[in-house]
Amino acid sequence: ADNDKSRFETQKQMSSDAMPSSNTTAAAASTAPTNALSKSQKKRMKRNASKARKEALEREQREAGFVPQPTQEMASLESSGGTALNPHIKLRVDLVAEGYAIDDVERAIDDMWNLQLPYDEFESVLAYLEARKVQEEVDEKAT
C-alpha cells in the first residue's frame, strides 16, 4: 500500500512539474510579440498595396500604349444619344469626350471630393484635370 501511495505522489509531482504555473504563463504572455499590427493598420496596408498595384498596372498600360475600352455604362449612354438619368455619368462621359481617360476622370473626381472642391460641375472638373495635366508636364520636365 505504501508503494502505491508513493507512486501516486510521484505521478502527482510529475504532472505538476509538467504543467506551467500561472506565473510562467503570465511571463510567456508578456514575451509575446508587441509589434503585431492592429486591424485598421492591416486594412490600411492592404488598401495601399492594392492601390500601388493598380497604379503600377495603369502606368505599364500607358507606357505600352494601351487604350482602355469604354465601359458598358459609357457605351449604353453614348448609344442613348447622350441623355442620362444620372448627371454624374453624363459628367464622366463629357470629360471622356474631351479626351481624358476614364481612370483619370475618376481619380480627379475622387481627389476633388477629398479636397472638398465642387466635383460635380463640368467646368470645375475640367479645370482641375487641365491643372493636373500641366503640373505633371512640369514635373516631367523637372526630372
Q: What is the pLDDT of residues 79-102, one digit of tens each?
A: 555 554 688 888 888 888 888 888
Q: Residue 101: CB partners within 8 Å, gap ≥ 6?
A: 68
126: cell is: 475640367
CA atoms within 13 A on the CB side of 117: 17
Cα gap 95→104, rounded to integer Å: 10
Of 85, 139, 97, nearest to 122 by C-alpha is 97
Asked whether the whole model's pTM tops 0.85, one would answer no
3-state DSSP assignment of residue 37: coil
Q: Which residue has the higher pLDDT, 82 or 139?
A: 139
For residues 99-113, average pLDDT: 90
**Does the pLDDT of residue 65 top 50, yes or no?**
yes
Q: Quickly list H helices, the chain.
A: 2-18, 22-30, 39-64, 72-79, 87-97, 102-114, 122-142
What would the grid cell of residue 15 be?
504532472
Greater confidence (22 vs 94) lies with 94
Q: What is the pLDDT of residue 84?
A: 47
